[in-house]
Amino acid sequence: MLDSAAVTRSGPVAQVHDFKSGNEAAALAARDIGFHVMGYFPITPSTEVAETLSKMQADGEHDIVMIPADGEHGAAGICYGAALGGGRVLNATSSQGLLYSLEQLPVQSGTRVPMVLNVSTRTVSGPLDIRCDHSDIYFVLNAGWIILMARDPQSAYDMNFAAVRIGEHPDVRLPVIVAYDGFLTSHQKRRIDRFDDPAAVKAFVGEREDPYSALDPDRPVTFGPYMNDPDLINNKVQQHQAMEAARRVIPEIFAEFYEFSGRDYRSVDAYRMDDADVALVLLNSAAENAKGVADKMREKGHKVGVVSPNVLRPFPTDEIRRLLKNVRAVVVGDRGDSYGAEGGNLSLEVRAALQQDPDNKTLVMSRVYGLGGKDFYDADAEEFFHEALTAAETGKVEVPFEYHGAYAGDDDAGPAPGLPPIKAEEVSRGMATVTPNPETNKLEVELKPLWEMTTTPSRIAPGHGACPGCGFFPMLRQAYNVLEGNIVVLFQTGCAMVTTTGYPKTAHRITYIHNLFQNGAATLSGLVEMYHERVRRGEIPEAPEGEDTTFIMVTGDGGMDIGMGAALGTAHRNHKMIILEYDNQGYMNTGSQLSYATPFGHRTSTSEVGDKLSGKRFHHKDTPQIFAACNLPYVFTASEGYPEDFMRKISKAQWYAQREGLVYGKVLSFCPLNWRTKDDAAQEVLQTAIDCCFFPLYEVEKGHTLVTYDPDAIGRRRTVGAWLGQMGKTKHMLEAENAERLEMIEQEVETRWRRLKIKSDNPEL
């Protein structure tokens, strides 16, 4: 047999051709399996699984309960809880998302609760890179989950069916990961065969049977007791035994799957290995590339083959040992390093497997390749084969371990030089004068006319890569017009981060830091305290009052979902800094998934609109009120469409952040791409959002709420419907069948607005 992975014969079940990416294939499998619950959080490149399922749901193709979590840690919790209830559970994630959920993974495997997690593999930060390698999946090798590898969209589809059966097998009872290459497989469309016989699929996957359920009142059980020594080690032996049982069960299920589908998977995919002198060991899509190259090398008379595990946990040690028994030299390619171990995890495990065979003489070379999405071309596979052939010929390995495809650099080259740094004096021009009013105990702000501000040098340079019409940059420009002195910014992951810092260029002319959006507020709070401590120790010169460096954490509304915990912790500690949120009402950087700030009924790529689904199912998060409840010195809302109002507020924010503590501000920020408007519709849409009271402009200064723009008072009040009619993402809300939903959002807006007005009118509230 030439190719043990891709031999297709017509199985008994009816199938049809389709043309799908790996993510779409995983979503199709989820639909066909009929999972009960999916808990998820969007992250590139796995997001498309949830997006595709949302579209299918809108069209009535499945009834999986789709739960958008606040982050991957939350998603893992949702999945764990749902799986304890005895139904089938699904998740999809990548990279940092997998790492953020890492803490939950051993909980789930240790308590023996099956589910399926699709991992569209992507490199881990930092620096942030959204493309493929296997450094994420390498982190979960010790998590106790079964890990199946899917080398193309077809196997991404197939492995999900196998995963359900393997994980739920009574001798196994473990959660299962299906891992396929980010972008290379997740986003590459290929011809696939999918099942066209729901009854047969149902019979194949069967019913889930759980020995214990959290939803069985007749048999109450305790999940997750407090277990120290001497008991824990015994629990771990059981877990080990389950993994060992999986070694037997996996081939059984693969055999059943072959009967069912006609596609024959083995624990290790062996290509032209029968008489191979040398081989490459690679995972997933790179192994497929290498097979094509092996064919060409064979034509030239080289006896080469490709070994590629379809199962990474349990690691198929026996099969690897058997396949490489007579192979003279092998190059193991790792798309991820285990820094300091002289080989990535695959190399280490192949070496360990061979070491158990005292007769084995195979020479092993380890190569780290393809990191961060670096493409793996035929020429790369060819080079690996030649290295192996040379070693086989000479009988020795010249370079046991190295990085393949890295570039040393050219001393005469470098990125375009920076602009001159912006000095504090240049930008401290008194565009806003902030004065405390001793009578009201509040601040008053006098702004210079707008035309005078135009010559303030911008702390942000042009040439950034944001979409035409993007509202973030007007907001930042307005803030920088009036903010005085030295500023350090931290941007959480999001559009503004990605579009301003594409390596090796940066649009920032002042010091800028990125951290992942779980943690930006905490990170900046650490820097704030370091600043003040170093000033106290005399290591940094003390600034005159009101001239301390201003620290600003910039985040999208998405960052205030996943990063809410760290932001609230930072707020409660009341560090001297500003949290500035640009709210464009969705995860726009990753393709417009819903955020908790997305209003009810709005169309996003994870809250689609169709016969069976009408946009987002719950109301928008009231983040300013959450921060107001932290009793901060100053909380405000603003819009980039009202520059003067915003600039007054951000000036006050700086005053408070330098003297009293933390400020939170939320700024409504235009996103024509995902609001589905024209690029120049900002003014109208932002104005109507404010005039309909969906987005009231107000501030909470030392606990006192003040509405700073009252459309009722000046006769400009409009309906929420007027606003929704201006955006493509919400037009459906005005259709007759959505009358009830329109009424619901109108009511919610009115309730919140009235409550705010009462607070504004009553200084005690």
Partner 1 sequence: MTREVSIPNGAEFFEIRFESIGGLGAHVAGKIVASAAVLRMNMNGSHFSSYGSEKKGSVVRSFIRLAPADKAIRTSAPIEEPDVIVVFHSGLLAHPATLSGLKANGTLIYAGHEGDVPVGLSLLPKTAKVIRVDAQKIAFEESSRENAVLIGTLAEAVPTLRRQAVLDALTATFASKSKKIAMANERAFTRGADEVEIIKNMGKLDGNVPTMSSNPVWGYRTAPIGGVLPTPGNTAHNDLHTSRTGWMPVLDRDKCIDCGMCDMVCPDLCLVWSTHTDEDGKPLVKLDGIDYQYCKGCMRCVETCSTSAMTREAELPGKADELRVPLFTELTAAAGGKHA
Range 578-607, binding partner 1 (CB under 8 A): 588-592
Nearer to partner 1, 458 or 625 (CB): 458
Q: Number of residues interacting with partner 1: please give it, by CB under 8 A.
A: 98
Q: Minimum Å distance from CB 676 to partner 1? A: 12
Nearer to partner 1, 204 or 646 (CB): 646
User: Distance between CA 366 and CA 387 in Å, rounded?
Assistant: 11
| 659 and 630 Cβ atoms separated by less than 8 Å | no
Residues 6+ away with beta carbon under 8 Å from 87: 35, 36, 37, 208
Interface segment toward partner 1; rule CB under 8 A; list 81-89, 109-117, 185-193, 558-566? 185-193
Q: Go through 524-547 and write b for each residue having 16 or more CB atoms within 10 A of its CB, e for each that does not.
A: bbebbeebbeeeeeeeeeeeeeee
**Three-state SS annotation for 557-585:** CCHHHHCHHHHHHHHHHCCCCEEEEEECC
CA 269 to chain centre: 30
Interface segment toward partner 1; rule CB under 8 A; list 231-239, 326-334, 406-414, 543-551? 406-414
What is the footprint of partner 1 within residues 194-223 (CB under 8 A)?
A: none
188 binds partner 1 (CB under 8 A): yes
408 binds partner 1 (CB under 8 A): yes
Q: Minimum Å distance from CB 700 to partner 1? A: 25
What is the footprint of partner 1 within residues 562-581 (CB under 8 A)?
A: none
Q: How far apart are the first and last CA of the chain?
A: 77
506 binds partner 1 (CB under 8 A): yes
347 binds partner 1 (CB under 8 A): no
What is the footprint of partner 1 within residues 268-327 (CB under 8 A)?
A: 285, 288-289, 291-292
User: Distance between CA 459 and CA 477 in Å, rounded?
Assistant: 8
Q: For the residues of 229-265, what is the DSSP string, one character each?
A: TTTHHHHHHHHHHHHHHHHHHHHHHHHHHHHHHSB--
Q: Which two tokens stand for residue 565?
A: 């915990």
Alpha helices in 359-515 (DSSP H): 378-394, 424-427, 450-453, 472-482, 495-500
Nearer to partner 1, 371 or 443 (CB): 371
Interface segment toward partner 1; rule CB under 8 A; list 103-111, 137-145, 471-479, 701-709? 471-479
Interface segment toward partner 1; rule CB under 8 A; list 100-108, 206-214, 459-467, 522-530? 459-467
What is the footprint of partner 1 within residues 609-668 (CB under 8 A)?
A: 640, 643
Q: Minimum Å distance from CB 154 to partner 1? A: 11
424 binds partner 1 (CB under 8 A): no
Interface segment toward partner 1; rule CB under 8 A; list 184-192, 439-447, 563-571, 709-717? 184-192
What is the footprint of partner 1 within residues 115-134 (CB under 8 A)?
A: 126-127, 130-131
| 170 and 129 Cβ atoms separated by less than 8 Å | no
In one letter, which amino acid is 568?
L
Query: Is residue 309 helix, strand or coil?
Result: strand
Contact with partner 1 (CB under 8 A) among 136, 168, 181, 264: 181
Residues 6+ away with beta carbon under 8 Å from 650: 478, 479, 482, 483, 578, 580, 638, 665
Neighbours of 513 (CB within 10 A): 16
463 binds partner 1 (CB under 8 A): yes
42 binds partner 1 (CB under 8 A): no
Nearer to partner 1, 252 or 295 (CB): 295
Strands (E), 267-377: 268-271, 278-281, 304-309, 311-313, 329-334, 363-368
Q: Minimum Å distance from CB 709 to partner 1? A: 17
In one letter, which amino acid is 199?
A
Q: Minimum Å distance from CB 511 to partner 1? A: 9
DSSP label of 98: H
Nearer to partner 1, 278 or 507 (CB): 507
226 binds partner 1 (CB under 8 A): no
682 binds partner 1 (CB under 8 A): yes
Residues 6+ away with beta carbon under 8 Å from 117: 79, 90, 91, 92, 93, 145, 175, 176, 177, 178
Interface segment toward partner 1; rule CB under 8 A; list 159-167, 312-320, 426-434, 456-464? 456-464
Contact with partner 1 (CB under 8 A) among 60, 170, 421, 526: 421
